[in-house]
Amino acid sequence: MKQLYAKARRGEITGFTGIDAPYEAPIDPEITIDTSKQPLTASVQQVLNYLAEHHYVSLVTANEN
């Protein structure tokens, strides 16, 4: 997995998003986060909350340990 972008730039990997393949925005994303309007920690928390609400992950707070 390391150096994938470097390999793509050298032409060793083709169809690589951001190098020789365009980025295609999802038509109907499950979650959208505008990172220009909130700090990184709030964006991360928003992702974690979404994942927990949809039962992809289980969050444990510091008080629960």
Amino acid 63 reads N
Cα distance between residue 26 and residue 3, in whole Å: 26
64 or 27, higher pLDDT:
27
Q: Tokens 């969050």 sit at which residue?
A: 59
Q: What digits encode the pLDDT tens for the residues 4-47?
A: 889 999 999 899 888 889 889 899 999 999 999 999 999 999 99
On whether the pTM is more than 0.75, the answer is no
Q: Is the pLDDT of residue 65 over 60?
A: no
The residues pairing with 21 across neighbouring beta strands, listed in sequence order, are 17
Over residues 50-65, the mean pLDDT reads 84
Rg (CA), the chain: 17
Contacts of residue 50, defined as CB under 8 A and 6 or more positions apart, other chains included, come to 30, 31
